[in-house]
Amino acid sequence: MRNLHLALMLVGVLRASLLADGVNIRLVGGNNNCSGRVEILQYGKWGTVCDDDWDRNDAEVVCRQLGCGKAVTAHQNAHFGQGSGPILLTHVQCSGNESSITQCFYRGFGTHNCNHGEDAGVTCSGDMRLIGGTDFCSGRVEILHDGQWGTVCDNDWDLNDAEVVCRQLGCGKAVTAHQNAHFGQGSGPVLLNNIQCSGSESRITQCSHRGFGSHDCSHGEDAGVSCLGTEKQRISSNTVLY
């Protein structure tokens, strides 16, 4: 019996390490790999996370664990649709610095009083972020390429391009496509230039452009956007978002 107990403890440790490296966590129902309903795998079954106590610190850990950049929004009330598997976690409380959601406080696998109408979700920045604005949905456009953050040149930059950026970040409709380093100059490489989007693409890299690093621009031409966002996204970049 003691050997069986030790074996079960070892299985638990192995499963925890799998979760810690991101293999057994996924996002379902979003418009890209970095947004959707949070699901984790336990004992061969994918299950959901209840939105009790779900906030941006929790979303921050999920986004980091999946290599999806920063958290943009922590969604509640089955924003990305209801799951069908077991509800595995509830009352998740992360500090935001953990590398895995299983390192955060939670009630215990399968211990909950929730239904799938309370499934938690996230929208992460992915390989894009906005810097220098007043909230999550405005700022200088920066993208991640080969492990380095860089800017976008404003040649041909227009509202169609801004529309794609806002959609990719889950920030609603584009309000303004800014030019001439409106939100300040970046310091990394200028990565994209002459971007020409139709406005219907789901990611900025799906639009026509010269190629990564091909440009004749300076940081005085860094492009930016202002997106409509949601009311709570516009309140403050330090506000917990739902």
The SS3 assignment for 130 reads strand
DSSP annotation string for 195-227: -B--S--SSGGGSB-S-TT-----GGGB-EEEE
Domain 2-124 has CATH 3.10.250.10: yes
Q: How far apart are CA 140 and CA 220, in angstroms?
A: 11
Q: Burial level of 1, CB count in 10 A (0-12/13-18/19+)? A: exposed
Taking the model in full, what pTM does it have?
0.63
For 116-141, what is each residue's pLDDT tens digit?
A: 999 999 988 888 889 999 887 899 99
Q: How far apart are CA 92 and CA 98, in angstroms?
A: 12
Cα dihedral sign, 167-168-171-176: negative
Fold of the domain built from segment(s) 128-235: Mac-2 Binding Protein (3.10.250)
Q: How far apart are CA 83 and CA 94, in angstroms?
A: 22
Of 33, 8, 187, 20, the residue nearest 123 (C-alpha):
33
Within 10 angstroms of residue 114's Cβ, the number of other Cβ atoms is 17
Phi, psi of 226, rounded to the nearest 5 degrees: -125, 125
Q: One digit per residue, pLDDT tens: the chain, 242 residues?
A: 445 443 433 333 333 334 444 448 999 998 777 889 999 998 888 999 999 999 999 999 999 999 888 888 899 999 999 999 999 999 999 999 998 998 999 987 778 889 999 999 998 888 888 999 988 789 999 998 888 899 999 999 999 999 999 988 878 899 999 999 999 999 999 999 999 999 999 889 899 999 998 899 999 999 999 999 754 444 433 333 32
Task: Provide, for the chain, the percentages of residues in helix, strand and coil under a 3-state DSSP scheme, each rounded to the nearest 5.
Answer: 25, 30, 50
Decide if 2-124 and 128-235 have a common fold. Answer: yes
Domain regions of the chain by residue span: 2-124, 128-235
